[in-house]
Amino acid sequence: MGHEPSFEELSALERSGFEKGLKFSIAPRKIPTAEIVAAVEESISQLNDERRNLDVFNALIALKKDPDRLVLSADKGNCVVVRDKQQYHDKALSLLNDKSTYAVLNSDPICKTQR
């Protein structure tokens, strides 16, 4: 079975390093200019993608604000469904008015379950 050293068993230099925190690092002797420039160029090239994402986001916001449409989560799967609000309402009413499936209750059953 291995033995893990305690904080007291570390040297003064090791303790000093850990006291600075786990994110402590030593500055590089030479700044990696080429890598920095390449990373910045890569980020700049992706700006068009970000703009496209912003356009998609704005389109989704406009769709959500449309009073004639409903944006809903699908019953199954991780999907989004866009429905005409009036058609959705009519379909829901037709399902609820189906006497072979649903019946009107004489009292509210919630009162019994909340006691």
Question: CB of 75 within 8 A of CB of 83?
Answer: no
**Residues forming a β-bridge with 72:** 81
Token pair of 97, please? 């008015």
Q: How does 57-85 read in b/e, with b if 16+ C-beta sit within 10 Å? A: eeeeeeeeeeeeebeeeeeeeeeeeeeee
Phi/psi of residue 73, nearest 5 degrees: -85, 135
What pLDDT is attached to residue 95? 92
What pLDDT is attached to residue 55? 84
Ordered per-residue pLDDT tens for the chain, 115 residues: 445 555 567 788 887 877 787 777 887 788 888 888 888 888 877 777 667 788 888 888 888 889 999 888 888 878 888 889 999 999 999 999 998 998 888 888 887 777 6
Token pair of 11, please? 């040297």
What pLDDT is attached to residue 1? 43
Question: CB of 8 within 8 A of CB of 18?
Answer: no
